[in-house]
Chains A and B, each alone.
Chain A
Amino acid sequence: MIDGLNSLDLEKPDRLVTHSWLSYSFQRHPLRYNARFELVFQTANQAGVLNPITATMASEIEGWSSVDSTLRGPVESRLAAGEHLVAWMVSDIDEQRQYRMSLLALSQHRFFCSTHAEVRDWPLAEIDKLRTKDRGGLGTLELLGTDRRLGFWHYTIAQGPAALVVGDRFEDLKAGRDARKQIEEDDVPEGEESESPPNTLALFRLWQFARPHAFWMFIAFVLSLAATVAAVETAKVIRPLTNLLYSYQSREVTSLSGSEWYLGVMLAGAAVAWILSWGQGAILAWVSERVTADLRNRTYSHLQKLSLEYFGGKRTGDLMSRISSDSDRLTQFLSDSIVDFSANSILLVVVAVALFQENLPLAFVTLLPFPFIVWLMYYSRDKLQVGFQAGSRAWANMTSVLADTIPGIRVVKAFAQEEREIERFRTANETVVVANNRVNSLWTFFWPLITFLNALGVFVVWAYGVRLVLHRAPDFDVGALTAFVVLSGMFYSKLEMMSRMVNASQRAATSAQRIFEILDRVSNVPEPARPVIVGKLRGDLEFRHVGFRYGNRKVIKDFSLKVQAGEMIGLVGHTGAGKSTLINLVCRFFDVAEGAILADGVDIRSYKIEQYRRNVGIVLQDPFLFYGTIAENIAYGRPEATRDEIMNAARAARAHEFILQLADGYDSLVGERGQSLSGGERQRISIARALLIDPRILILDEATSALDSTTERQIQEALQNLVRGRTTIAIAHRLSTLRQANRIMVIERGRLVEIGTHDELLAIDGAYAELHRAQQELTRDIGW
């Protein structure tokens, strides 16, 4: 019996409960499951001729072969001829809530569960419902019979989409629906591929920003190389000069002729080194300023493109300190330290070569402490990095306190909590001190130790040189010793500078890593890979089984609705019902976790975000104005708007008159976040702002909640003209606001519970009627 779909014996079809959609938001890692579950209903044979389908059919479900064969095998061997699997999932947590795998699979006749111990199965006829629920990240699939629960399995949310498909296919089988159509509907537009972050050290990744300036960096490098060679070559006159002076003093020679030449070489060498390092310093300072400015720009523009979800979990102060003070630290490192580092490491090599040329055994002795110092630097590096991370974090924490309390200063004052905020800042500041002290104490220990070892290096030269002179070693004289001392002094002083680099580079690496953390974040609202070009939308909207969750809290559940272009929909429901969330989805501030929202019949994820948002005007619950003039704020979405257009929008929003009352009219500054305006005034400006872009879809999220009834009525009259021909979704608590709405929908806990005109809803006497009654009573009571 293959075409079992139509002949499935449904014992109690009336008991079928509509499938509850799981809303899994894979906000951070959008999992796309559509491709994985290829259905096999095409094998259902209408002519009733048996198709030779074998158990190997199972392997045709994508991903099936990746399942552990000890789980998969027993299920395959149980399949009857003609039976094939339509969906499967892995339950990765067992009944005792331990991590252990079992496999759940659905064929057209049975539901299987395969653990490592056994395989069980239930005929579909015995199963009334497959229910999925989830709580705190733990999902549960329940197999419900008509009179009891047959079984349940847990899974982590990563398995959620698969669980959803299993539930879906079960519904399809029960309803005898053709599931192939369903698959097409589920097709999710593919998001743009984002390259995975390279897994290298943060400092090396700075190279991608430095590459455009590679030429200048190369020039700087050549200059520093030349300066180094000049310094070393100059040191070569030390030996003959010293010997000359020595001979003159011991009266072996009577004239100092030639010493002018040596002195001249020294002076020239110093001058050349000066000019060269000047050029190199200037170039690198410019390059490093450029590189970090580019890095800052890239970080900020990346930040702007990240979805709201990212900002929800981030503290403003932390982000600010990453972009400002961390990048500043990088500039310092790039301009000062990297210069020193490249120059010094070249110098070390050149000096070492010079030392070896002079005297082989002495050179070996001179470099004796060198490996030890390098090891010490390496060792301290690791310790320092941890310290610097703590330091950066403490700093960000302190900035966060500022970013939190300064905008909230009115609340602080209103509740007289100044002292507490001072204390909070002091504590944060103290953590900075503690973190820095830790680094400092580490560093103040390592640094003198390294200095000591460096001095030891020079000391060894003296000691060994004295021994050589004492034993009258051939080819060695006081001049050679002096030259050696100067060279080794040069070597160790550079090494000392380099060890200071350890500190700077670790600090910079920490900062670089903090910046790259932003850059590596992928937006959860990805741009489509193959965008559908759109100019002006018509304004049809359709919600198809939309589900959404914040973290692991379900907020929107199985929401379906069709809105025609030009229709005005009123949206009512208790606070927290998910109204704002729903319109966030329409605006693509977040992406739906399942189902789809279609505008003009196309999934909104297929449009380029920017083009799509041009069509959507939104007035938010808490209107945000930017620092600037009123005119600038109204024209925010369309900076090229003319003054007349701005005024017309303001008139429509009933803002014109109050704006004219202000001292500077449309040129008045509104202050940060518009704090110099009242709540109602801000709302009216934000309505004007939304109207100015002439959107096809207008969204009003309690846009008139802060207005008095008269002003609201005026705006409504104005909106009546403006709303015409636009798709409007208006959220309101005052039901009177929604008088013009074509249809009103009532949302309760993320579900659409009622929809219809005002009269229809009153007639069915449900949730809406109740709200209506409550408001009427209130109006009567207080004469509102």
Chain B
Amino acid sequence: MIENLASLNFRKDAWGQLVLIRPDGTEHSGVEPVRCFPLSDPERSIALLDSDGKELANLPDLSVLNPSARAALQQELEEREFAPVIQRITTTSTPNPPCQWQVVTDRGTTSFQLESEDDIRRLGTDGAVIADSHGIRYKIPDITRLDGHSQKIIRRLI
């Protein structure tokens, strides 16, 4: 495990892979940052894995990095995450699963198949995470902030 986290650096190579530069200048290409608690505590405990899946370092949070490294890692994390945030549920084919949901997300409108109410997981007191039939996750950070119609749809399922 790498000790001196503040002196880590990152760059992207021509293949679009993340390269980790150790303090001593050695490089690891194809490094993957992984959030250890992506749902319950996404900002803390971020592991850096090498291309074999071995842990190189575990960052308590991003602030331990120097500013340029932090920006690079933040960018990389954003690029590899795909969890649209649901802003509005437009329609559902039937009130109860299995059903097709039409939603407006922060990444545009889409629709997905909800297989069962078990695929809706509560997060904290007001949040929820929905997994569609393909395993894509949609987040709702705060149900109470949705409009009434959307709230009604989701509340009857949790």
Contacts and interface: CB of A to CB of B under 8 A. Distances in A.
Nearest to B17: A149
B37 interface: no
Given A149-B15, A156-B136, A389-B156, A138 B108 contact: no
B94 interface: yes
Given A28-B133, A154-B82, A313 B116 contact: yes
B41 interface: no
A136 B119 CA distance: 15
A97 B82 contact: yes
Interface string A130-161: 00000111100010100111001010111000
B7 interface: no
Contacts of B24: none
B125 to A, nearest CB: 14
Contacts of A313: 116, 118-119
Given A28-B115, A149-B14, A157 B135 contact: yes
Contact of B94 (A199, A551, A749): A199
Given A135-B80, A136-B137, A100 B108 contact: yes
A99 B110 contact: yes
A157 B134 contact: yes
A93 B134 CA distance: 15
Interface of B is mostly: loop
Given A137-B135, A517-B116, A99 B15 contact: no
A318 B134 CA distance: 23
Contact of B108 (A29, A99, A149, A314): A99
Nearest to B98: A520
Interface string B92-133: 011011100000010111100101111100000000000011
A53 B57 CA distance: 57
Given A97-B107, A137-B82, A148 B14 contact: yes
A313 B14 CA distance: 41
B116 A99 contact: no
A393 B135 contact: no
A46 interface: no
B103 to A, nearest CB: 10
A238 to B, nearest CB: 47
A642 interface: no
B135 A552 contact: yes
A138 B133 contact: no
A149 B30 CA distance: 14
A513 interface: yes
A458 to B, nearest CB: 37
B131 to A, nearest CB: 8
Given A156-B134, A158-B134, A99 B107 contact: yes
A254 interface: no
A386 interface: yes
A401 B118 CA distance: 15
A142 B14 contact: no
Nearest to A159: B134
A414 B109 CA distance: 50
B148 interface: no
Nearest to A549: B135
A29 B133 contact: yes
A137 B133 contact: no
Nearest to B94: A199
B15 A138 contact: no
Interface string B68-92: 0000000000011111100000000
B118 A137 contact: no
B25 interface: no
Contacts of A517: 96-98, 116
Given A138-B80, A138-B82, A152-B16, 10 more contacts: A29-B133, A98-B107, A136-B82, A137-B134, A137-B137, A144-B15, A199-B94, A386-B156, A517-B98, A551-B135
Question: Closest 4 CB pairs between A and B?
Answer: A99-B108, A137-B136, A148-B14, A138-B82
